[in-house]
Chain A
Amino acid sequence: QVQLVQSGAEVKKPGSSVKVSCKASGGTFSSYTISWVRQAPGQGLEWMGRIIPILGIANYAQKFQGRVTITADKSTSTAYMELSSLRSEDTAVYYCARAGDGWFDPWGQGTLVTVSS
């Protein structure tokens, strides 16, 4: 049974960066695809990007191109999502999820990132 456990809440200043981790257990990490999805307060879900750890290849939603970097460390079965040039609109809960062809399951518990001066 795959489980994803994310790092804790963060408070960041505008213009700074945040790096959220997602540690997987169960299954074979390298065979997953890990996606990152965010949800602003009271809003819907938004796909940000994904990585295929076994290949080390990531691709990103156009909206976040140039601001987001998704990486994976196979030795620790951990994926990371780094978002730079933070602004108040980036305040959201960030989720990682194992991704298949068109589905996401399971999801991490979510990490609240608050951007405030």
Chain B
Amino acid sequence: QSALTQPRSVSGSPGQSVTISCTGTSSDVGGYNYVSWYQQHPGKAPKLMIYDVSKRPSGVPDRFSGSKSGNTASLTISGLQAEDEADYYCCSYAGSYTSYVFGTGTKVTVL
């Protein structure tokens, strides 16, 4: 099972919006509404930001939103803030045999 494809990096100025794509196949992203997104600051454990494609856990700012079209999921950060600078990973359920596959990761830089 190959990793989901994400852009290596994206950047934006404070207040701007950035969108991170996550491309898989019909066997993972396209086949299930079980896409999640994680934020990881250096030296820290990942933190769940979005689950079930577009749901936000309690405590996650509504600046973070998720969507999916076909085999590609997206995470949008609106009103970018300095503390959003981190690595972001998508993840998709891929069936009972493979179970889960993560994306390659995207570094978000706040200019």
Number of A-B contacts (CB under 8 A): 73
In the complex, the answer to whether A47 meets B34 with C-beta atoms within 8 Å is no
Given contacts A95-B45, A95-B46, A109-B45, contact A101 B34 (CB under 8 A): yes
* B52, B97, B99, B105: the one within 8 Å of A103 (CB): B52
Task: Please classify how large the interface on chain B is, using the bins under 10, 10 to 19, 20 to 34, 35 or more.
Answer: 20 to 34
A102 near B46 with CB under 8 A, answer no
A59, B45: Cα distance in complex, Å: 23
Please, which residue of chain B has its CB at the minimum distance from the CB of A44? B105
Q: Please judge, given known A-B contacts A103-B52, A104-B48, whether A44 and B102 are in contact too, CB under 8 Å.
A: yes
Chain B CB within 8 A of A35 CB: yes
Tell me the minimal C-beta distance from B86 to chain A in angstroms.
13
Bound-state CA distance A35–B51 (Å) is 16
Mask for B67-84, Cβ within 8 A of A = 1, else 0?
Answer: 000000000000000000
Cα(A21)–Cα(B98), bound, Å: 24
Q: Does A107 contact B (CB under 8 A)?
A: yes
Q: Are B99 and A45 within 8 A (Cβ)? A: no
Residues of B within 8 A of A50 (CB): 99
Smallest beta-carbon distance A54→chain B, Å = 18
Q: How far is the CB of B70 from chain A (nearest CB, A)?
A: 18
Shortest Cβ gap from A75 to chain B (Å): 26
| A59–B100 alpha-carbon span in the complex (Å) | 11
Question: Does any Cβ of A come within 8 Å of B38's Cβ?
Answer: yes
Contact mask for chain B residues 17-32; partner A; CB cutoff 8 A; 1 contact, 0 none: 0000000000000001
- Option from A44, A49, A61, A102 in Cβ contact (under 8 Å) with B36: A102
| Interface CB pairs A-B, < 8 A, 9 | A45-B38, A45-B91, A61-B1, A61-B98, A100-B51, A102-B32, A102-B51, A102-B52, A106-B45
Q: Closest 5 A-B residue pairs measured CB to CB? A: A102-B34, A105-B48, A103-B51, A107-B45, A47-B100
A contact residues vs B (CB 8 Å cutoff): 35, 37, 44-47, 49-50, 59, 61-62, 95, 97, 100-110
